[in-house]
Structure 1
Amino acid sequence: MSKPPAEAPDLIDVHVGKMIRARRRAIGVSQHDLAPAIGVTFQQVQKYEVGSNRVSASKLFAIAQALGVPAGSFFSDLEEAGADPSILSEFGDFLVLNGSAELVKAYRNLSADQRRVLVDLAQVMAAS
């Protein structure tokens, strides 16, 4: 008897997992360190971060406390994106890249003109 095909993770679960990973990495916490703080194994943290296992409300609250952010921060940009899968995927993929947190912090301190120059530069570099 064969198993039914596994259901793909919900895109919002995947986004929340990416936001958890981004925050964890931004503050230098390993999966091994986060796991006991929230009462799970590091493998469970991995599953949360890729969205293969959904995070319960109580566990999400514990994760937020352990990472020093409001629980709602893991849902940032969902309303603006209208939960559009392509926007969620791009945003989440960006947040887990090495250096993304540093880039965002620096970007916030730029003037509007400097931001425009940086975006133009990045587009030129990406096109080549």
Structure 2
Amino acid sequence: MAGKPADARDVHIGQRIEMLRVRAKLSQEALARRLGISASQFGKYEKGQNRMSAADLDLVGRLFDVPIGYFFEGLPAVENARPGFAERPQAALLGPGPWADFAGAVARAADAHLGAEERRRLAAVVRALDRALQATPSFDIENDSGSSG
């Protein structure tokens, strides 16, 4: 049984892939080899003529170090959606919330209450925390049931 035919979403995803590939100065052939597919097939993905599998899309995201959600950013709403399947807004997984401007608040408090050496040590801790957070994969905090540590 063949998969669903490609549509406007596939065109959008293909454009996002092409943008990453061109920015990285890679040829279609080079990226196709990394995916284990023909350059012709890869070209069809970029043009949105064929639908890319979730596994291949995940691999492309990993190759370019972008989350899979990157490919769906800016995706237009589906027209003529069937009843019961209408597009509805999704809550952002990460973004403004209780940690918004946390670093700014820490910096203001440090300036007001700490000496120069203490501020330097705090800055080192904040940079280490930032590096650790950048290396941590995104997840939905409200649905995380894992333990810390």
Query: Displacement, 1:16?
Result: 0.5
Matching residue within 35, 39, 45 for 1:38: 35
> Residue 20 of structure 1 contacts residue 49 of structure 1 at CA under 8 Å; is this kept in 2?
yes
Which stretches of structure 1, 4 residues or more, deviate above 3 A after TM superposition? none
> 2:25 is matched with which residue?
28
5 Å-filtered alignment, 1:23-102, equals 23-78=20-75, 81-83=76-78
Unpaired segments ≥5 residues, structure 1? 1-6, 85-128
> Residue 5 of structure 2 contacts residue 51 of structure 2 at CA under 8 Å; is this kept in 1?
no
Bigger CA radius of gyration: 2
> Residue 38 of structure 1 contacts residue 66 of structure 1 at CA under 8 Å; is this kept in 2?
no
What secondary structure, in the 3-state scheme, does the structure 2 residue paired with 1:69 have? Answer: coil
Unpaired segments ≥5 residues, structure 2? 80-149
CA RMSD of aligned residues (A): 1.9
Query: Displacement, 1:8?
Result: 7.4
Rounded to whole Å, the distance in 2 between the matches of 1:22 and 1:83 is 22
Q: Percent identity?
A: 37
Rounded to whole Å, the distance in 1 between the matches of 2:37 and 2:63 is 13
Q: What TM-score does the superposition give when structure 1 sets the normalisation length?
A: 0.54
Please say if 1:14 is aligned against 2:8: no
Residues 55-87 of structure 1: CA deviation (Å, up to 9, x unaligned):
000010111112221111111112xx4246xxx
> Residue 60 of structure 1 contacts residue 71 of structure 1 at CA under 8 Å; is this kept in 2?
yes
> Residue 28 of structure 2 contacts residue 39 of structure 2 at CA under 8 Å; is this kept in 1?
yes
> Residue 34 of structure 1 contacts residue 66 of structure 1 at CA under 8 Å; is this kept in 2?
no
> Residue 14 of structure 1 contacts residue 49 of structure 1 at CA under 8 Å; is this kept in 2?
yes
Relative to total residues, which structure has the larger helix share, 1 or 2? 1
Rounded to whole Å, the distance in 2 between the matches of 1:8 and 1:71 is 21
Amino acid at match of 1:25: V
